[in-house]
Amino acid sequence: MDIGAIIGILVALGVVIVILIVVAALLFGGLRSSIFFTVHTQENVIVERFGKFKKVAKPGLNTKVPFIETTTKPISLRVQQLEVNIETKTKDNVFVMVPVAVQYLVSEDKVVDAYYRLANPEEQIRSYVFDTVRSALSTLTLDSAFESKDDIATSVEHRLSAQMAGYGFRIVNTLVTDISPDQRVRDSMNSINAAQRDRVAAQALAEADKIKRVTQAEAEAESKRLQGEGVAGQRKAIATGIAEQYEMLRRAGIESTAEQLLLMTQYFDTMQDVARNGRSNVLMLPSNPGALGDLTTEIRNALLTSHESERAISDSDSDSRQERLEAQRREREEADRARRAREQSAQQQARRAADQARQQQRRDFPEPPDFMPGM
């Protein structure tokens, strides 16, 4: 074998070795990474061939043709949340800040639509949320907006679900977390609520005082009635006893002087009772027996005078009670008028504060035009 053949063989072997080295480097180096790739759980990867969609790579080990096929960034299938803060005004021209949280995900069977049909899905969702919330709040007052917070969230969710389903997105939930007006408006609302609560408290106190006074009046009337019945029963028993004694004296033949005798007996009984229970140590009695006739007349006159005095006192008590009731009624009327005046003043102050807040908001935040970009 000549030298030229040997040199040719060596050159051929060298070329083969170089080719084998290059192939091994490609297979176990960068070429392997360009052929095999992995996809994580809850993610999908789109494989494109010369820029054209080829397939969707699922989680696990996948392959592609090197230098011909490329892969996109992983597309997450997990639930994502988008926070949207919307500033708008209600039907009664109160500016409010409404934070809305939208939870959404990419449907596994519509990964291709979600990747190719929308360039920026978050901006698309944000636009729908803005439009829906502003349309809903423009027909509601501030009080109605607080009551319809869940209805607003439901309306946003339904509209987003209908619109985003065609792009491969599924709306999981929509939450209107708060409706926050300006601080001055909140202060005005608190003032109105405080005035209303003060009015209810005043009404409750007045009603309690009325019940107390009525109960006291009823108890006093019942006490007077029972006291009168007791006095009437006492007098009736005394009259019955006197009548029985008079009848016994008449049967005993002392008919002509029975009245004087009974009066004298009552007189001396009274003197004994006064001496026993009275606070005075001196009693004024007639000095001669001839004064007994005058004493009888005086006792009769005293009884009549006592009867008239008791009736006058009873009438006076009735008049005093009527005067007290009339005075109490006037006091209640004055208290009611004062309470109503305070409530009207508080409500006027609250309305003035709300008007000032709205005017300040109009100056700070001019009303936007009817057409807004991104709506």
In this predicted model, what pLDDT tens digit does every residue of 124-163 receive, in sequence order? Answer: 888 888 888 888 888 888 888 888 888 888 888 888 888 8
- The pLDDT value given to residue 44: 93
Give the chain's radius of gyration (CA, Å): 54
The per-residue pLDDT of the chain, averaged, comes to 76
| Bridge partner residues of 69 (DSSP) | 49
For the question of whether the overall pTM of this predicted structure is more than 0.75, the answer is no
At 73, is the pLDDT very low, low, confident or very high (cuts 50, 70, 90)?
Answer: very high
Q: Which residues of 211-247 are buried (b: 16+ CB within 10 A; e: fewer)?
A: eebeeeeeeeeeeeeeeeeeeeeeeeeeeeeeeeebe
Residue 118 CA to residue 122 CA, distance in Å, equals 9
Q: Break the chain into its structural domains and give their ranges.
A: 3-71, 79-181
pLDDT, tens only, 331-363: 888 877 877 887 777 777 777 776 776 776 666
Instruction: Name the percent of the chain lying above pLDDT 90.
Output: 11
State mean pLDDT over 254-281: 62
Amino acid at 1: M
CATH tag for 79-181 (out of 3.40.50.1010, 3.30.479.30, 3.30.70.260, 3.30.2130.10):
3.30.479.30
At 260, is the pLDDT very low, low, confident or very high (cuts 50, 70, 90)?
Answer: low
Q: Among the residues of 170-290, which ranges form H helices? A: 183-251, 258-277
Residue 214 CA to residue 117 CA, distance in Å, equals 79
Least reliable range by pLDDT among 1-5, 115-119, 127-131 = 1-5
At 89, is the pLDDT very low, low, confident or very high (cuts 50, 70, 90)?
Answer: confident
Q: Enter the tokens of residue 224.
A: 């007077």
User: What's phi and psi for 360, nearest 5 deg?
Assistant: -65, -40
Which residue is it, tokens 């944000």? 126
Q: Residue 304 to residues 222, 230, 314: CA-CA distances in angstroms?
A: 27, 20, 15
pLDDT, tens only, 24-48: 655 555 444 568 889 999 999 999 9
